[in-house]
Chain A
Amino acid sequence: MLEVSVRHVFRSFSVDVAFRAPPGVTVLFGRSGSGKTTIINAVAGLLMPDAGRIASGDWTLLDTRRGIRLKPHRRRLGYIFQEGRLFPHLTVRQNLAYGAWFAPKGAPREDMGRVVDLLGIGHLLDRRPGALSGGEKQRVAIGRALLSAPRLILADEPLAALDEARKAEILPFLERLRDEVNVPILYVSHSATEVARLATTVVALDAGRVIREGPAAEVLGDPAVLPAGAREAGAILTATVAAHHDDGLSELDAGGISLFVPRVSQTPGTAMRVRIAAHDVILSRGRPDGLSALNILPGVVSEIRSGAGPGAIVAVDTGAGRLLARITQRSARALALAPGTEAHAIVKTVSVAPSDIGGGETTAVLS
Chain B
Amino acid sequence: MADWLSPAEWDAVRLSLRVALWATVFSLPVGILVAYALARWRFPGREALNVLVHLPLIMPPVVTGYLLLLAFGTRGPVGGFLDSVLGFTFAFRWTGAALAAGVMAFPFMVRAVRLSIEAVDPKLEQAASTLGASRIWVFMTVTLPLILPGMIAGTVLTFAKGMGEFGATITFVSNIPGQTQTIPLAIDLLLETPGGEARAARLAGLSILLAATALALSEWISRRVAARVGGA
Contacts and interface: CB of A to CB of B under 8 A. Distances in A.
A144 B138 CA distance: 16
Interface string A120-149: 000000001111000000000000110010
Given A73-B134, A81-B123, A102-B137, A89 B229 contact: yes
Chain B CB within 10 Å, residue with most, of A44, A73, A83, A128? A73
A73 B146 contact: no
Given A77-B130, A145-B131, 4 more contacts: A72-B126, A98-B133, A103-B132, A131-B231
B129 A72 contact: yes
User: At the interface, is chain B mostly helix, strand, loop or mixed?
Assistant: helix
Chain A CB within 10 Å, residue with most, of B129, B146, B228, B230? B129
Given A73-B132, A76-B132, A128-B232, A85 B127 contact: yes
A87 B124 contact: yes
Nearest to A132: B231
A273 B138 CA distance: 41
15 contacts: A46-B126, A46-B130, A73-B133, A73-B135, A83-B123, A85-B123, A87-B127, A87-B142, A89-B228, A128-B231, A130-B231, A130-B232, A131-B231, A131-B232, A148-B132
Interface string A66-107: 000001111111110101010111000000001101110000
Contacts of A72: 126, 129-130
B131 A98 contact: yes
B228 to A, nearest CB: 6
A44 B132 CA distance: 11
Contacts of B191: none
Interface residues on B, range: 20 to 34
A155 B229 CA distance: 26
Q: Considering the complex of A and B, which 10 residue pairs feature the smallest CB-CB distances, nearest first?
A: A130-B231, A102-B132, A99-B131, A85-B127, A79-B130, A128-B231, A72-B129, A89-B229, A89-B145, A73-B129
A102 B131 CA distance: 7
Contacts of B214: none
A148 B131 contact: yes
A129 B130 CA distance: 19
Interface string B32-62: 0000000000000000000000000000000
Contacts of B67: none
Contacts of B204: none
Nearest to B231: A130
B166 to A, nearest CB: 39
Contacts of B146: 88-89
Interface string B185-217: 000000000000000000000000000000000
Contacts of A79: 127, 130-131
Nearest to B123: A85
Interface in B128-185: 128-135, 137-138, 141-142, 145-146
Given A81-B123, A85-B123, A44 B231 contact: no
B68 to A, nearest CB: 39
A121 B39 CA distance: 37
A138 to B, nearest CB: 13
Nearest to A72: B129
B231 to A, nearest CB: 2
A42 to B, nearest CB: 13
Contacts of A77: 130
Contacts of B230: 88, 130
Contacts of A88: 124, 146, 229-231
Chain B CB within 10 Å, residue with most, of A83, A85, A131? A85
A132 B132 CA distance: 25
A81 B124 CA distance: 10
A95 B21 CA distance: 36
A273 to B, nearest CB: 30
